[in-house]
Amino acid sequence: MTRAAILLCVLAFAACGAPRGPAPRPPATSISAERPLAELPPQDLGQGQCGMALWQRTEPARRIAYILDEPPSARVVDSGDVIALARTSSEGDAIARHAPLQRFAGAGRSLVIEVRIEQREGLLSGAIIPEGTLTWQSASGSVVVPVFGLIGCR
């Protein structure tokens, strides 16, 4: 092959949009979207409380958060420990004593849940959460997770 032919091949390859340089990497602070939080063990619901249990939409589904109306707090498992975060704000009309948008924080972590809450006929002392999102932020990074759940009152 002559020099002209080699140069022509190199130019043709470059013109085809060959990638230049290494591919961009995700931020070093991202958390795996598949398992950002560990599965939460069963939680107790005291007399007079309403609890919201949220499951991550995975196969199989995993319970990853438990929200209490009193005291207003959220429980999750992070780094192997069950931690409680205090509610810092809530917005929207409460159903079964839970607002559709709630924010929690503590110990350098934060949690935001935004859910659709439905009361259904025949369901006593609670509600259904057909869909929603949970946004988790910690020193490891942040992630948004699709969730569904239930609210039960005792």
**Residues in the chain, overall count:** 154
Total count of domains within the chain: 1
Helix, strand and coil in the chain, % to nearest 5: 10, 50, 40
Domain assignment present for residue 23? The answer is: no
What is the pTM for the complete model shown? 0.76
Angle 124-89-61 (CA atoms, 0-180°, nearest 5)? 55
Domain assignment present for residue 77? The answer is: yes
Domain assignment present for residue 15? The answer is: no
Domain assignment present for residue 72? The answer is: yes
From CA 9, how far away is CA 39, in angstroms rounded?
55
Residue 7 gets the label, from left (phi > 0), alpha (psi -120 to 50) or beta, of alpha
Residue-wise pLDDT for 6-63, tens only, equals 433 333 333 444 444 444 444 434 444 445 689 999 999 999 999 999 999 999 999 9
Which range of residues forms the domain containing residue 130?
A: 29-153
Domain assignment present for residue 14? The answer is: no
